[in-house]
Amino acid sequence: METIAVLTSGGDAPGMNAAIRAVVRTAGYHRLSVLGVMRGFHGLIHDEFIELNPRSVADIIHRGGTILKSARSEEFRTTEGQAKAVENLRRAGVEGLVVIGGDGSFRGAMRLQEAGINIVGIPATIDNDIPCTDFSIGFDTTVNTVVEVINKIRDTATSHERIYVVEVMGRHSGYIAMYAGLAGGAETVLIPEVDDSLDEVCERLISGYRLGKAHSIVLVAEGVGGNFKAGRSLNESSAFHVADYVREKTGFETRVTVLGHIQRGGNPTANDRILASRLGARAVEMLMEGRGGCMVGVVHTEIKATPLEEVFKQEKALDLGFHQLAHILASQ
């Protein structure tokens, strides 16, 4: 094998750059050429290849975002789009492709594997919702960003003795809310995986007030929206709904903070950089061994490869013990 390519796809995640660096430099170490594909699958279809060498990835290990840019490509869902991508990869002499992204990106990549281009996926999404890996790149940084915000909100929440409802990302997953809630000492964590009753939330807040708590933080994952939005405007975020309900039911003053895309930016933590470096290096080795159609992940601290078909069959399980622990510790 002489040439491989690398792309980033889907929502960006801090640490993607560290993964690109690891792919390019591991390939350089083994004397392989690397092409970068700009804008994910869109760039594959539109022939947006750039040459990458160990110097082109200097000074990016600490940067959020992705130097290769990212996109969600509708065109790649079509058979014509996929055929064009395969044709461009073949013409560029690419024998293996590293796809850094979420499981939607890996599903797209499977079409290329079926057409004979070896693919290795690297899980990168702040949501941490990809099965067969304990963590995906970007998650740790996001949790730290959210915890930092919670620390700041605590200051004003205590001064004014209010309830703060903070909405975090996680379209279908409560991972960010659950980890940040436990690390940030939130009084209540609402996640899509648990059908919590808002009346119970109110009772918890009232009991905290009776215990002398000067404020409360309620962390809501955006994915909870579906559970709460029945009969309400779809533009309304889950956090506003929760805050209104709590105010009406308890009489406490509430405020809402929706964190949005600040959660996707920022310098990756050391954990994310290390994970990205390990996965990037292993992805290149897998391609050199001729093993495609796989995702590399971390399972109990070991790097493990799993066939993509297996990844697609599974659901990422959430350890609800974390959720319970956050509530137990905050209820005293």
Stretch that binds ligand F6P, among 57-65, 112-120, 121-129, 211-219 (CB under 6 A): 121-129
When asked if residue 293 is in the footprint of ligand F6P (CB under 6 A), the reply is no
* Closest CB 180 distance from ligand F6P, rounded Å: 13
When asked if residue 125 is in the footprint of ligand F6P (CB under 6 A), the reply is yes
Edge-first strand order for the sheet with 254-258 is 188-190, 216-221, 163-168, 254-258
When asked if residue 126 is in the footprint of ligand F6P (CB under 6 A), the reply is yes
Nearer to ligand F6P, 175 or 322 (CB): 175
User: Which of 4, 5, 9, 11 lies at the binding interface for ligand F6P (CB under 6 A)?
Assistant: 11
Number of residues forming the site for ligand F6P (CB under 6 A): 9
User: Which of 21, 42, 264, 278 lies at the binding interface for ligand F6P (CB under 6 A)?
Assistant: 264
Percent of the chain that is helix, strand, coil (3-state, to 5): 50, 20, 35
When asked if residue 140 is in the footprint of ligand F6P (CB under 6 A), the reply is no
Q: 286, 23 in Cβ contact below 8 A?
A: no
Work out the angle at residue 259's Cα, subtended by the Cα atoms of residues 270 and 235, and round it to the nearest 5 degrees.
Answer: 145
Pairing of the two strands 96-101 and 3-8 = parallel
* Closest CB 91 distance from ligand F6P, rounded Å: 31
Q: 6, 100 in Cβ contact below 8 A?
A: yes
Stretch that binds ligand F6P, among 165-173, 226-234, 269-277, 316-324 (CB under 6 A): 165-173
Active site residue 127: yes
When asked if residue 127 is in the footprint of ligand F6P (CB under 6 A), the reply is yes
Which residues partner with 256 through β-bridges? 165
Nearer to ligand F6P, 192 or 292 (CB): 192
Phi/psi-derived region of residue 297, left when phi > 0, alpha when psi is between -120 and 50, beta in every other case:
beta
Return the residue nearest ligand F6P (CB atom).
Answer: 11
Distances (CA, A) of 41 to 22, 88, 97, 280: 21, 11, 11, 19
Torsion, CA 324, CA 248, CA 241, CA 232, rounded to 10? 130
When asked if residue 188 is in the footprint of ligand F6P (CB under 6 A), the reply is no
* Closest CB 257 distance from ligand F6P, rounded Å: 16
Query: How many CB atoms neighbour CB 299 within 10 A?
Result: 12
Catalytic annotation, pick one of 127, 129, 140, 196:
127
Please give the positions annotated as active site: 127
Residues near ligand F6P, by CB under 6 A: 11, 125-127, 169-171, 222, 264
